[in-house]
C-alpha cells in the first residue's frame, strides 16, 4: 500500500512539473501582473496602453485602449475547450491553449469598459481563435469584491499615475499647454492616492522629461505675462 502511494505521488509530481514547465514565461517588463484568481492570472501591457480617439479622429484623453493578458489554469482551459466543442467551434491547436489576449477600451468619463476583442493564444503566443464580445460593462455596477472590478481599477490607477507618459506615447504632437496641465493633474493624483506598488509611479525617459520641463516653464512664463498685463491694465484705469 505504501509503495502504491509513493508511486502515485511520483506520478502526480511528474504531471505537475510537466504542466508547470508548459506554462508560458510572461515578460514582466512589458506585462504588469495584477492578481490571480482560482482560474487565471491577470496582466496588462504597460508598454502599449494608450489613449484612444473619438469618432472624429481626435485624441480622447478620457479613453484608454488597454491590451490585457490572461493566463489560464488547466480547469479554465478544459472549460474553454468544452464550450467551443459544445458550440460547434474549431478546437484545432487548443491542446496547447494557455490563455487569452484581450483588448479593452476604458472610458474614464462614462465609467465604462468596452470588451472589444479576445484572442485565444497558445504557448508560442500564436492566436488560435478570435472572439469579438462587443460588450460594455458599467464599472459602478460591478461588485467591489469581483476580480474584474479590481483589475479595471488597477489599470485606471496606473493610467492616472502615468498620465503624461501615456499622452506622449499616444500623441507625439500634443501641445505644451496640455502637457503642463496633465503633469499638474498627475502630480496631484500621486500626492492624494497611495500606489498599490511604488513601481507604478514610473519616470519619464530623459527626452520626454526635458519636453515636459520646457512645457511647464513656457506655461509659467505665459502666466507671469498675463499677471503683468493685468496689473498694467489696472494702472491705466
pLDDT above 60 for 39: yes
| Number of C-beta neighbours around residue 45 at 10 A | 17
Global pTM?
0.85
* Overall average pLDDT of the 131-149 stretch: 94
How does pLDDT run across 157-178, given as a tens digit for each residue? 999 999 999 999 999 999 999 9
Q: Is 48 found in the same domain as 121?
A: yes
How much is the pLDDT for 234? 61
Strand 59-72 and strand 40-45: pairing? antiparallel
pLDDT above 50 for 13: no
How much is the pLDDT for 6? 41
pLDDT above 80 for 218: yes
How much is the pLDDT for 222? 62
The three-class DSSP label of residue 13 is: helix
Q: Please return the burial class of 6, using the count of CB atoms within 10 Å of its CB with bins 0-12, 13-18 and 19+.
A: exposed
| Number of C-beta neighbours around residue 55 at 10 A | 6
Q: What is the CATH number of the domain that holds 112?
A: 2.40.128
Range of the domain at 125: 27-141
Q: Is 172 found in the same domain as 231?
A: yes
Residue whose C-alpha is closest to residue 72's, from 8, 17, 24 = 24
Supply 133's cell numbers.
464580445
* Overall average pLDDT of the 5-24 stretch: 43
- pLDDT over 70 for what percent of the chain? 84
Q: Is 37 found in the same domain as 123?
A: yes
Amino acid at each position: 500500500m505504501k509503495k502504491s502511494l509513493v508511486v502515485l505521488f511520483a506520478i502526480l509530481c511528474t504531471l505537475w512539473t510537466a504542466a508547470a514547465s508548459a506554462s508560458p514565461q510572461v515578460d514582466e517588463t512589458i506585462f504588469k501582473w495584477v492578481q490571480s484568481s482560482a482560474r487565471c492570472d491577470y496582466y496588462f501591457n504597460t508598454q502599449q496602453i494608450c489613449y484612444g480617439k473619438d469618432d472624429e479622429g481626435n485624441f480622447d484623453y478620457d479613453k484608454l485602449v488597454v491590451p490585457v493578458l490572461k493566463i489560464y489554469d488547466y480547469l479554465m482551459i478544459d472549460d474553454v475547450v468544452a464550450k467551443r466543442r459544445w458550440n460547434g467551434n474549431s478546437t484545432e491547436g487548443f491542446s496547447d491553449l494557455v490563455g487569452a489576449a484581450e483588448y479593452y477600451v476604458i472610458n474614464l468619463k462614462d465609467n465604462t469598459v468596452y470588451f472589444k476583442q479576445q484572442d485565444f493564444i497558445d504557448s508560442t503566443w500564436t492566436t488560435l481563435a478570435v472572439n469579438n464580445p462587443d460588450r460594455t460593462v458599467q464599472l459602478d455596477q460591478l461588485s467591489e469584491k469581483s476580480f474584474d472590478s479590481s483589475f479595471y481599477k488597477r489599470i485606471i490607477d496606473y493610467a492616472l499615475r502615468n498620465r503624461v507618459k501615456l499622452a506622449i506615447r499616444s500623441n507625439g504632437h500634443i501641445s505644451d499647454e496640455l502637457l503642463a496641465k496633465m503633469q499638474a493633474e498627475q502630480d496631484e493624483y500621486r500626492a492624494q492616492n497611495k500606489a498599490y506598488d511604488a513601481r507604478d509611479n514610473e519616470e519619464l525617459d530623459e527626452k520626454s522629461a526635458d519636453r515636459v520641463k520646457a512645457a511647464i516653464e513656457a506655461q509659467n512664463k505665459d502666466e507671469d505675462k498675463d499677471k503683468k498685463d493685468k496689473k498694467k491694465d489696472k494702472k491705466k484705469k
